[in-house]
Structure 1
């Protein structure tokens, strides 16, 4: 079945009509179910019409001689459609090439554990996708990853921007050279959501266009909203807070969303990205310490003044979602579009009428504030027994129609990094249109991507291991609030630690 038929019927729908035959390993089962599970909470993003009968699909499926098997580890999706789409990829790839895929779908944490264990034992998977792998530069440093530079021309044809390709150019400490460690195909930004109905209850403006764009005014807007909400409804006092960002937990484990949220505020206060001729970042660029000091002071003042929940100091990646969905906070900065997409499945009134997403970020001056983008890729392991077959999968996958159909099954959680894919489907610009209402969430991603200013996510600042888990900027507010440091002392200490952590790698790369 070719790409045209794919677009006509959609990935999840195809699986519903043609259950995959490939073996899948999960934590509870070793075989793919014989029937597809397609929920009604997050509808499939493709439409099946009576003009594409099942018999047509069956009769146009080619027969290909078996040509080997690749081992693939993938991060488990949030929605049933995502899992079905992965099975569909495996089925379609086998039918078109004869190459089977042994598919293992696991949680983020388990993908990392299983991948690292296999690599250390000399028996890694052939190919992997996991969002958290975007900060695993030590895999490349140890020589575990295959150089995928052969796909740069394919990416250029898809109009993948240079900054997205460069984000995956990592240092191989064994070969002592830079490699393309992954083949990027998707991205996500860090959207800002808020409860419109809580603002309306407080008597505050609720349209995205009415919210201030200068950072000080922006911050004070949410303070005022909390004050007025508590005055209007005293039962909400100490239960609903104006500011639910940035999360400050997970240091040493998985700082996730919080680190990315804090980096945005650093950018909005003047943090700069400066690189040398080896592509190595200068963390201590002029003005960066001052920017971080301003952010730490703002956070400490806001927290101590009672405009953030006390628990925010320990929030990990899931906790801001929980706080927002329970209406414990009026506003939140999140790692993906998972919050509104949750409500799209649970209650479309909340999605379309009671919540909104900002189409631009604030800054000190009121100009469009910087937003960062995380780039997601396929990675191939050098010791993979069938790595050449894995490369054939990537070559096959890099077809606009296949990428588009696959990403649409995420409902908008991931976004095409390819301009060709992006412009091929109005979904990426218009979002959810099934109710006849204007989508207040997904189109903001398109607007922000188009209008910028865009910067790579902190995971992509480094071509070498860089102590992501230590989340050094996030440590500074903890030092001030919990240990009595001054803001200057806290910032100077964490910056010193961060610089020392990356110095050995940068010195080694400079010697190549």
Structure 2
């Protein structure tokens, strides 16, 4: 009788899908929203009868953990990959399952922002499904503006104004700072420099991605101003120790008034301090020559080693569906969906902060979608750190970085 009962239970478990488990790795800022993920994943489990094991990783450790797993052929069934070159890099190494056929036949494909597809493409084949996107902006604390006698409805628009505002706000003795400069050995530093580089009229690589393009007067001017905000003017906490995620949390506690942020910042800063709702805002980041932003976000990829590729695609398309994104926006108000229909139909369309985002998005450039990008990014991080630590002059650091980038790209 016991054997019969056990057999019946096992059959029921198999029918309900409890015998199958998918693993998904979630990295970056959205990993912090664990409660929301639990609700969304539970909805998938109930609809498809498949268990999902979720692992959350912070941005600082996620890349190394994912690469180690993929190299060993022991990756998850589904993973987040940064739109900053990760997907073509992983695809070139043969670590990812091509998704071209699934994407061609998926109902949501026409709704994905068209400028996102190149970030997940390698050799004309798509290996990732863009899940959320963003463009970097100036995130600022309105209360700290008011306390410094600044108009919170008139954020700085130029580099000169950025410095002026930051100096008025900064009181280092009280550990109050005007602007947060990212100088850690992470992608945040590359993104920070790129914001200033493109705002100065420069660019990272040539249009064909064949060689470095930042060792120019524009690139040098950007490097000097970006590092001088911390070194010369002292308006930032120690940039070697902190980056934009830290500054967002400091902003929530009224310690840093301005930093690079984006649509992902809204739910996170409000989670850090619910009382800051309505007391922060965003604006186009101050620029020198031209408005500038850097496009970012995450895509969902299926590792080649996954034994559950079909079910992994079910989860990827479920997470990127119209209904799930609408629930996410209703509950969290961000980040920015990769789906145009959600952007238009959700409450985002009426939010003044999101109006700034949609106006800024056309100025956003993508990080080079080439396999060598992670190595290039590392050279930018080293360049910035060498200047911040006074180990090299800006002129020396940018020349060495450009030479190293050209070597990475095979320039002879």
Distance 1:457 1:394 in 2: 23
The counterpart of 2:300, out of the listed 360, 374, 378, is 378
Change (3 A) 1:430 1:465: same
Aligned pairs for 1:147-162 (under 5 A) are 147-150=98-101, 151-152=103-104, 154=106, 157-162=109-114
The structural deviation recorded for 1:379 is 0.6
Which residue is equivalent to 2:177?
241
**2:85–2:373 contact (8 Å) kept in structure 1:** no
Distance 2:261 2:354 in 1: 13
Kindly provide the CA deviation profile for residues 277-330 of structure 1, in whole angstroms up to 9, marking residues without a partner as x: xxx414534x76222200122134333333323512332454323432343322
**1:147 counterpart SS class:** coil
**1:330 counterpart SS class:** strand
Distance 1:273 1:301 in 2: 20
**1:222–1:242 contact (8 Å) kept in structure 2:** yes
The counterpart of 2:248, out of the listed 321, 329, 353, is 321
**1:314 counterpart SS class:** coil
**2:253–2:273 contact (8 Å) kept in structure 1:** no
The counterpart of 2:287, out of the listed 347, 363, 377, is 363
**1:223 counterpart SS class:** helix
Aligned pairs for 1:160-309 (under 5 A) are 160-170=112-122, 177-207=123-153, 210-226=154-170, 237=173, 239-244=175-180, 246-249=181-184, 251=185, 255-272=186-203, 280-285=208-213, 289-309=216-236
- Does the alignment pair 1:428 with 2:356? no
Structure 2: stretches of 5+ with no match in the other structure: 1-14
The structural deviation recorded for 1:335 is 5.9
Which residue is equivalent to 2:6?
none
RMSD: 3.4
- Does the alignment pair 1:333 with 2:260? yes
Question: Which ranges of 4 or more aligned residues in structure 1 deviate by more than 6 Å?
Answer: none
Kindly provide the CA deviation profile for residues 154-197 of structure 1, in whole angstroms up to 9, marking residues without a partner as x: 37754212210111113xxxxxx443121113112323222222
Structure 1: stretches of 5+ with no match in the other structure: 1-63, 171-176, 231-235, 432-442, 508-512
**2:88–2:119 contact (8 Å) kept in structure 1:** no
TM-score, normalised relative to structure 2? 0.82
TM-score, normalised relative to structure 1? 0.67
**1:190–1:372 contact (8 Å) kept in structure 2:** yes
Distance 1:68 1:380 in 2: 21
**2:293–2:360 contact (8 Å) kept in structure 1:** no
The counterpart of 1:351, out of the listed 253, 256, 277, is 277
Kindly provide the CA deviation profile for residues 438-485 of structure 1, in whole angstroms up to 9, marking residues without a partner as x: xxxxx4234322454333442xx1321333585323333433343453
**2:400 counterpart SS class:** helix
Distance 2:389 2:64 in 1: 32
Change (3 A) 1:110 1:449: same
Distance 2:246 2:307 in 1: 40
Distance 2:274 2:25 in 1: 29
Distance 1:335 1:161 in 2: 17
**1:472 counterpart SS class:** helix
**1:344–1:351 contact (8 Å) kept in structure 2:** no
Distance 1:122 1:475 in 2: 30
Change (3 A) 1:498 1:66: same
Change (3 A) 1:167 1:417: same
Kindly provide the CA deviation profile for residues 130-151 of structure 1, in whole angstroms up to 9, marking residues without a partner as x: 5589636432121010111120
**1:127–1:381 contact (8 Å) kept in structure 2:** yes
**2:227–2:388 contact (8 Å) kept in structure 1:** yes
- Does the alignment pair 1:125 with 2:79? no
